A = this chain, B = another copy of it.
Amino acid sequence: MVPKIVDHDERRKEIADAVLDLIARVGIDGVTLREVARVSGWSTGILSHYGGSRDELLLLALRRAAELAGESFRKASQDTSLSDLDKITEIIYESLPVGHSRLALQRIFLFYYARAATTTDDLFSAEMRRYLENWRRVIARCVDRITESGGLPPEADSARIAADIAAIADGSSLHAILDPILMDRLTEDRSIPHSWVTAVLQAAGYDDTPHFHMPE
Which residues does A use to contact B, with CB under 8 Å? 26-30, 107, 110-111, 113-120, 125, 128-129, 132-133, 163-164, 166-172, 174-175, 177-179, 182, 195-196, 198-200, 202-203
Contact of A111 (CB < 8 Å), options: B114, B178, B179, B182? B114
| Bound-complex Cα distance A168 to B168 (A) | 4
Q: Output the least CB separation between A202 and chain B (Å).
A: 6
| Bound-complex Cα distance A128 to B174 (A) | 11
Q: Is the CB of B170 within 8 A of A175?
A: yes
In the complex, which residues of chain B have a beta carbon less than 8 angstroms from the beta carbon of A169?
A: 167, 171
The verdict on A118 contacting B110 (CB below 8 Å), with A164-B199, A203-B198 known, is yes
Q: Is the CB of B178 within 8 A of A128?
A: yes
Q: Is the CB of A29 within 8 A of B175?
A: no
In the complex, which residues of chain B have a beta carbon less than 8 angstroms from the beta carbon of A168?
A: 164, 167-168, 171
Q: Output the least CB separation between A93 and chain B (Å).
A: 15
Q: CB-nearest residue of chain B relative to A168? A: B168
Q: Is the CB of B178 within 8 A of A113?
A: yes
A-B contact pairs, 22 of them (CB 8 A): A26-B120, A27-B119, A28-B119, A29-B119, A30-B120, A110-B118, A111-B114, A114-B114, A114-B115, A117-B174, A125-B178, A129-B179, A132-B179, A133-B179, A163-B175, A164-B196, A168-B171, A170-B171, A170-B174, A170-B175, A199-B199, A199-B202
Q: CB-nearest residue of chain B relative to A159? A: B181
Among A107, A174, A177, find the residue whose CB has the most chain B CB atoms closer than 10 A. Answer: A174
In the complex, which residues of chain B have a beta carbon less than 8 angstroms from the beta carbon of A29?
A: 118-120
Q: CB-nearest residue of chain B relative to A116? A: B178
Q: Is the CB of B117 within 8 A of A110?
A: yes
| Bound-complex Cα distance A71 to B128 (A) | 33
In the complex, which residues of chain B have a beta carbon less than 8 angstroms from the beta carbon of A107?
A: 117-118
| Bound-complex Cα distance A115 to B129 (A) | 20
In the complex, which residues of chain B have a beta carbon less than 8 angstroms from the beta carbon of A128?
A: 178
Q: Is the CB of B175 within 8 A of A166?
A: yes
